[in-house]
């Protein structure tokens, strides 16, 4: 009699387990049908991207004059992006919930490429369906007011193509042909000085 009881319990547990798996599978499929794709809202993405690009351009001019370029630029973007990009009421076809801007990370690459990455959760609700936009990236060229012809070697070193004295951001430096050409721009790290 005890073997029959154990068998019955295992059969019941197996049926419950299958039911739970089937429910998760079925509900999981329905959830993915409810969510909209971010590509369906290019106007919202374009609006935020335009705001971010504008704020980064202005922030560069302010950050270059500070003691720490990277920190100053990131603080400027974190403070001013929500102020610049605050008119979501223009999107009347759907509701938009804007979260807190949580992360700003700037990176300077060789040849003055500036990349600013922002994490800013924006939920879009349309006809009971939800999508989220979270990550935005602004790519620009560092706005420094000088030109310097260089080449970049296999090790990402910037190599001077001519002799020149360069003045920028309160720094003056003489370069000769073949010198490694970079500035440590007030906390931003080494930046190639090129056109």
117: confidence class by pLDDT, cuts 50, 70, 90:
very high
C-alpha to C-alpha distance for 16 and 100, rounded to whole angstroms:
42
Give how far Cα 25 sits from Cα of 35, 131, 163, Å. Answer: 16, 21, 68
140: confidence class by pLDDT, cuts 50, 70, 90:
confident
- pLDDT score at 107: 83
C-alpha to C-alpha distance for 163 and 149, rounded to whole angstroms:
10
Region 138-166: mean pLDDT is: 65
- pLDDT score at 29: 47
Give how far Cα 192 sits from Cα of 48, 54, 166, 183, Å. Answer: 29, 23, 12, 7
C-alpha to C-alpha distance for 170 and 194, rounded to whole angstroms:
17
Region 117-122: mean pLDDT is: 93
Least confident of 33-42, 75-84, 107-116: 33-42
Nearest C-alpha neighbor of 88 from the set 78, 98, 79, 80: 98
Region 15-44: mean pLDDT is: 67
C-alpha to C-alpha distance for 162 and 41, rounded to whole angstroms:
48
- pLDDT score at 125: 86
Looking at the chain, the number of H-run helices and the number of E-run strands are: 3, 10
Averaged pLDDT of the chain: 75
Nearest C-alpha neighbor of 45 from the set 130, 101, 124, 99: 124
78: confidence class by pLDDT, cuts 50, 70, 90:
very high
pLDDT at residue 69 tops 50: yes
pLDDT at residue 31 tops 70: no
C-alpha to C-alpha distance for 146 and 186, rounded to whole angstroms:
17
C-alpha to C-alpha distance for 83 and 58, rounded to whole angstroms:
13
- pLDDT score at 61: 76
Alpha-helical (H) ranges within 35-86 are: 42-63, 69-84
Top pLDDT among 119 and 160 is at 119
pLDDT at residue 187 tops 50: no
80: confidence class by pLDDT, cuts 50, 70, 90:
very high
- pLDDT score at 182: 60
């Amino acid at each position: 009699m005890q073997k029959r009881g154990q068998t019955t319990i295992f059969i019941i547990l197996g049926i419950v387990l299958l039911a739970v798996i089937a429910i998760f599978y079925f509900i999981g499929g329905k959830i993915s049908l409810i969510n909209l794709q971010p590509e369906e809202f290019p106007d919202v993405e374009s609006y935020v991207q335009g705001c971010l690009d504008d704020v980064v351009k202005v922030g560069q001019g302010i950050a270059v004059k500070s003691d720490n370029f990277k920190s100053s630029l990131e603080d400027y973007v974190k403070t001013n992006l929500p102020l610049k990009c605050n008119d979501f009421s223009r999107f009347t076809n759907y509701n938009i919930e804007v979260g807190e801007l949580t992360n700003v990370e700037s990176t300077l690459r060789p040849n003055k490429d500036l990349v600013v990455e922002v994490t800013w959760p924006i939920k879009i609700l349309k006809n009971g369906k939800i999508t989220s936009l979270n990550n935005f990236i602004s790519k620009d060229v560092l706005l420094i007011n000088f030109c310097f012809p260089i080449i970049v070697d296999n090790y990402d070193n910037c190599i001077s193509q001519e002799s020149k004295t360069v003045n920028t951001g309160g720094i003056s430096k003489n370069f000769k042909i073949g010198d490694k050409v970079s500035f440590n721009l007030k906390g931003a790290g080494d930046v190639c000085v090129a056109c």
